[in-house]
Amino acid sequence: MHGAVPGMPGPMSANGRAWIAAIRPRTLVIGATPVFVGLALAWHHTGRLDLPVALLTLFAALAIQAGTNLHNDVADFERGADDPATRKGPERVVASGRLPAPAVRRAAHALFGLAVLAGVGLVLRGGWPIALLGAAAVACGLAYTGGPRPLGYLGLGELFVWAFFGVAAVAGTYYLQTGRVGFDALWLGAILGLPAAAVLVVNNTRDRNEDARVGKRTLAVRWGLRAMRGLYAALMLAPALGLLPLVAGGSWWLAGAWLLLPWALSLAHEICAQPPGPAYNRLLVATARWEAAFGVLIAAGLVAGRFLSR
């Protein structure tokens, strides 16, 4: 017998699947991971966490990232950067006609609005530094592919990701919990931002020919395939080197993250061995997973270090 069972949820509608695809949930770990690392570092130093503030921080980070993803979908379509006939990456919902551009734009603005509302509570906790950081994050999310001179079209996308999904996210989360920012918060943020930027390197390297056609001057368009492969390898291997001063300085419990070095080497080999195309979609997801795993091991090491350093 076919059909939905009464009282049980039926299969998700095509419209619902389109909205999930537009948000790109597989990439949301890039926004969540630095928040968890910032929280773990705060707990490592103080032995306590403000849970409501932690949840607001995580919600704001995910809302900004999801809103940016939706806004990019619309803005790239309007600039002609997402031709379904030539696109090698996952389908874009506006360009493919699955969702109308006005609806996706309204959803993006709604998510940015929710991030701002969450940010009000965070500003009450963190003051003007958090207000400036939040305003900059939302503004850059909108300007990434929107406005007269989009950041993503100027070759600044990787820098934007490193700064906001690395340094700012870890240090901002830590500041909200402790009221201060130290070297280790900034350094861990800088380290964690590197593989986050590597995710965008994969995306832009895959799309460089199509981006060049529509005038999207990403680093991949400017530098070429060989240089981007080298940049990806550097971004994936540098975090292991970045841990050296922390481990040598006594935080030996962070050394567990070095277990992921063989995986990073494997991914660096893969981007060199595979031609840009659909295979890079798998590499993009694997890179995001690597960053999440790296962040989990860093956070676990910080939690363990709280007990081991007593």
pLDDT tens, N- to C-terminus, the chain (310 residues): 344 434 434 446 778 888 988 888 888 999 999 999 999 999 999 999 999 999 999 999 999 999 989 988 888 888 776 666 566 767 778 888 888 999 999 999 999 999 999 999 999 999 999 999 989 888 888 787 776 777 778 888 899 999 999 999 999 999 999 999 999 999 999 999 999 999 999 999 999 988 888 888 999 999 999 999 999 999 999 999 999 999 999 999 999 999 999 999 999 999 999 999 889 999 999 999 999 999 999 999 999 998 887 6
pLDDT number for residue 173: 97
Domain count, the chain: 1
In a domain, 1, yes or no: no
In a domain, 172, yes or no: yes
How many Å apart are CA 124 and CA 139, to the nearest integer? 20
How many Å apart are CA 229 and CA 108, to the nearest integer? 32
pLDDT number for residue 83: 65
In a domain, 19, yes or no: no
Supply the range of the domain harboring residue 251. 25-308
Alpha helices by DSSP H, the chain = 14-23, 29-46, 51-78, 101-126, 128-143, 157-162, 168-178, 183-206, 208-213, 219-223, 225-242, 244-248, 261-273, 279-308
Exposed e or buried b for every residue in 252-267, given b needs 16+ CB within 10 A? ebbeebbebeeebeeb
Secondary structure (3-state) at 309: coil
pLDDT number for residue 211: 86
What is the pTM assigned to this prediction? Answer: 0.90
Q: What angle do CA 236, 240, 243 make, to 5 degrees?
A: 135
| Number of other CB atoms surrounding residue 291 within 10 Å | 28
Contact yes or no for 197/235 (Cβ under 8 A) = yes
In a domain, 280, yes or no: yes
Q: Which residues contact 232 (CB under 8 A, 6 or more apart)?
A: 198, 201, 202, 205, 268, 271
Q: What is the CATH number of the domain that holds 47?
A: 1.10.600
pLDDT number for residue 223: 95
In a domain, 10, yes or no: no
In a domain, 2, yes or no: no
pLDDT number for residue 307: 83
In a domain, 15, yes or no: no
The amino acid sitting at 107 is A
How many Å apart are CA 133 and CA 82, to the nearest integer? 31
Q: At what angle do helices 101-126 and 51-78 cross, to 10 degrees?
A: 150
